[in-house]
Amino acid sequence: MTWSAAARGAHQPDNTAFTQQRLPAWQPLLSAGITLPLFFCAGLAFIGLGLGLYYSSNGIKELEYDYTGNPGTGNCSVCAALGEGRAPPPKCSCAWYFSLPELFPGPVYLYYELSNFYQNNRRYGVSRDDAQLSGLQSALRHPANECAPYQFSAAGLPIAPCGAIANSLFNDTFSLWHQRRPGGPYEEVQLDRTAIAWWTDYHVKFRNPPLVNGSLALAFRGTAPPPNWHRPVYELSPDPNNTGFVNQDFVVWMRTAALPTFRKLYARIRQGDYTAGLPRGAYRVNISYNYPVRAFGGHKLIIFSNISWMGGKNPFLGIAYLVVGSLCILVGFVMLVVYIRYQDQNDDDDDDDE
């Protein structure tokens, strides 16, 4: 079957420069004079940036302590042994003593680090109800199916917050004490626990349900806390602006990590005599040991760290730039050798033709 001329014309594009591809175009011709300087300049730029990042990262000071409690590693081993195979583990406290011979420059950040903890597991990562966390009353009473088996309690009550992420909330606590002179008393160092979560998480993604008669406890009435929690969500903090779904520690934990070893911000030290950092002297960190990690072969650490213009300590970024820059320069030299060799051959062939 053949089409008529009118039918063919109806399906043809308009006779314009754009539809008929007659617009002027520029196609770069990548000659050796363009490509080789491009590779060398990119390599030098990457190496310069890599050196800056690497030395900036090395200038960041860190002080860390593994308080997992493996046998023979300190007084936290007693707490770890008490919690073996017991859920929830009993309350236990231990301490870490350390001394600073000189000023630990500020601002100082206190992190906790977990290892061998796969927050990036697919089923773990989706085990949450974002509608419930945004404060929707309907989601509070009817958690999403993704939260199972932490969707409803044994008594049939909806769990708030539901899901495996919330159920595994990190609940160790720390306090820092400073002994200014040998033999003197220990004074508590104020830890700033405000604004440790991402601004968008705290102000946009997480919301408490509407208060009932001015009470958050009444708003959560008829729900149950996650099985591993010792108290309901509305009692996470005595501060009414830092409890429920907007508790800073809870919001930080709910932002899952991409790698099995990760650290999360616990507090800043930037008040009073500690604005410039931690002065020299003896220190003690009191640890409330609640979070078991030995069952899955994990470790937990306390980390004091300061930051630079690039953020926290991250030598990998600088090394990556150095490697890429070196590869660019290496490829540039290889291309230069190949260009010179074959250019000489082409010149000889031209001479023979003449």
In angstroms, the CA 37 to CA 191 distance is 52
CB 249 within 8 A of CB 238: no
Q: Residue 96: what pLDDT?
A: 93
CB 316 within 8 A of CB 53: no
Q: Residue 346: what pLDDT?
A: 59
Q: What DSSP element (H or E) covers 110?
A: strand 108-115
In the three-class reduction of DSSP (H, G, I as helix; E, B as strand; rest coil), residue 292 is classed as coil
Exposure of 324 in the CB half-sphere (CA atoms within 13 A) = 14
In the three-class reduction of DSSP (H, G, I as helix; E, B as strand; rest coil), residue 341 is classed as helix
**φ, ψ for residue 319 (rounded to 5)?**
-65, -40
Task: Map tokens 């030299």 to a residue.
Answer: 333
- Using a 10 angstrom Cβ sphere, with 0-12 exposed, 13-18 middle and 19 or more buried, the burial of residue 289 is buried
In angstroms, the CA 236 to CA 161 distance is 12
Q: Residue 85: what pLDDT?
A: 63
Residue 175: beta bridge partners? Answer: 286
**φ, ψ for residue 46 (rounded to 5)?**
-65, -40
In angstroms, the CA 179 to CA 282 distance is 5
CB 132 within 8 A of CB 150: no
Average pLDDT, 10 consecutive residues per value, the chain (354 residues): 56 82 81 86 94 90 90 77 70 91 92 96 95 94 94 94 96 94 90 93 94 93 93 93 95 95 94 90 94 90 89 87 95 90 64 54
Q: Residue 200: what pLDDT?
A: 94
- Using a 10 angstrom Cβ sphere, with 0-12 exposed, 13-18 middle and 19 or more buried, the burial of residue 241 is exposed
Q: Residue 348: what pLDDT?
A: 55
Q: Which residues, including other chains, have CB under 8 Å from residue 336's CB and lie 6 or more apart?
A: 32, 36
Q: Residue 79: what pLDDT?
A: 85
Token pair in block for residue 336? 């230069």
Predicted TM-score of the model (pTM): 0.81
Exposure of 118 in the CB half-sphere (CA atoms within 13 A) = 6
In angstroms, the CA 253 to CA 299 distance is 17
Q: What DSSP element (H or E) covers 64?
A: strand 62-66
Q: Residue 342: what pLDDT?
A: 79
**Torsion, CA 162, CA 163, CA 168, CA 171, rounded to 10:** -20
Task: Map tokens 């697919």 to a residue.
Answer: 122
Task: Map tokens 């310069």 to a residue.
Answer: 48
**Torsion, CA 48, CA 51, CA 53, CA 58, rounded to 10:** -170
CB 284 within 8 A of CB 95: yes
Query: In angstroms, how far apart are the furthest CA atoms of the chain?
Result: 105
Q: List the domain boundaries for the chain.
A: 61-306
